[in-house]
Structure 1
Amino acid sequence: MKVNDTVRLIRLSKGITQKQVAAQLKIPVQTYNGYELGRRKIHVELLKEIAIVLDEPIHILFNYTLYKSKK
Structure 2
Amino acid sequence: MSLGKTIKKIREQKGMLQKQVAAELNIGTTNYNKLENGNREPSVKELQQLATLFDLTVDQVLNFEDDMPKEVSLENKTEMEQFKLIQQLEEEDKQTVMKIINTMLTKAKFKDFFNKNIATL
TM range (shorter): 0.7 to 0.9
Corresponding residue for residue 21 of structure 1: 21
Shift of residue 63, structure 1, vs aligned partner: 3.5
Q: 1:54 Cα deviation (Å)?
A: 1.6
Query: Contact (CA 8 Å) 1:2, 1:63: kept in 2 or not?
Result: no
Specify every segment of 5 or more residues in structure 1 that has no aligned partner in the other structure, as ranges: 65-71
Higher relative contact order (CA 8 A, sep 6+): 1
Structure 2 distance, partners of 1:63, 1:40, is 18
In the superposition, the TM-score normalised over structure 2's length comes to 0.49
The superposition leaves residues 19-45 of structure 1 with CA deviations (integer Å, 9 ceiling, x where unpaired) of 000111111111111001001121222
User: How many pairs are equivalent?
Assistant: 64
Q: Residues of 1 paired with 2:59 and 2:13: CA distance?
A: 17
Distance in 2, matches of 1:43 and 1:58, equals: 12
Q: After the TM superposition, which residues 1-71 of structure 1 pair with which residues of structure 2 at under 5 Å, given as runs? A: 1-63=1-63
* 4+ residue segments displaced more than 3 Å: none
The alignment's TM-score, normalised by the length of structure 1, stands at: 0.79
> Which is greater in Rg?
2
1:2 and 1:22 mapped to 2: Cα distance? Answer: 19
**Alpha-carbon offset, residue 12 of structure 1:** 0.2
Q: Which has the higher helix share?
A: 2
User: Unpaired segments of 5 or more residues in structure 2?
Assistant: 65-121
Partner SS, residue 55 of structure 2? coil
| CA distance in structure 1 between the aligned counterparts of 2:24 and 2:41, rounded to whole angstroms | 19
SS of residue paired to 1:27: coil
